[in-house]
């Protein structure tokens, strides 16, 4: 009987150890350079179609820049704005417009503006495969963050078949 208990305990500990080690290494989806370039180009094109000269930055799931495009006549400030919006969106896994609105309604969330690299203006949109955020698009330069966001959403919609 003792041997059966010892063998059972040993088997259970081996199973538990195997499960724990399997969770130590993760597999994650991420943003390819090709997809990032497509998103940046489609974002700039969507805004250009409405007469807006913008910059678009695409970051991967870690907030690292993968692609940037700046339209002719886009202001120099649009580069930094688009990068910060993309970083903020990827980091928070939310749109920057929703975050801005939330911080205006919730005094406790107002401190988000003090996080280095965060920009709470509309125009940052997460890129998802299912429920997993693989990166984000940030657009800056349209006459309103809501319009920047529309361009980012249009770009994501254009490549949505690749996000499966």
Domain ranges of the chain: 33-162
Mean pLDDT of the region 70-87: 98
Global pTM?
0.85
**Quick one: fold of 33-162?**
Beta-Lactamase (3.30.450)
Tokens representing 121? 């203006």
**How wide is the angle at C-alpha 123 spanned by C-alphas 121 and 127, nearest 5°?**
130
Higher confidence at residue 126 or residue 23?
126
**How wide is the angle at C-alpha 37 spanned by C-alphas 64 and 32, nearest 5°?**
60
pLDDT over 70, % of the chain? 87
Tokens representing 74? 């886009």
Mean pLDDT of the region 57-80: 98
The reported pLDDT for the residue numbered 7 is 46
pLDDT higher than threshold 70 for residue 3: no
Mean pLDDT of all residues belonging to the chain = 90
């Amino acid at each position: 009987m003792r041997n059966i208990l010892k063998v059972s305990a040993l088997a259970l500990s081996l199973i538990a150890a195997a499960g724990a080690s399997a969770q130590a290494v993760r597999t994650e989806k991420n943003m390819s350079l090709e997809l990032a370039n497509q998103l940046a180009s489609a974002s700039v094109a969507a805004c250009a179609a409405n007469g807006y000269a913008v910059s678009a930055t695409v970051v991967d799931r870690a907030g690292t820049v993968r692609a940037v495009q700046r339209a002719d006549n886009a202001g120099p400030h649009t580069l930094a704005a688009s990068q910060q919006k993309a970083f903020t969106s990827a980091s928070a896994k939310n749109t920057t417009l929703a975050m801005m609105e939330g911080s205006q309604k919730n005094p406790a969330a107002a401190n988000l503006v003090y996080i280095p690299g965060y920009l709470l203006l509309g125009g940052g949109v997460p890129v998802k495969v299912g429920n997993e955020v693989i990166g984000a698009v940030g657009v800056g330069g349209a006459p309103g963050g809501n319009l920047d966001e529309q361009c980012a959403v249009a770009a994501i919609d254009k490549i949505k078949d690749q996000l499966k």
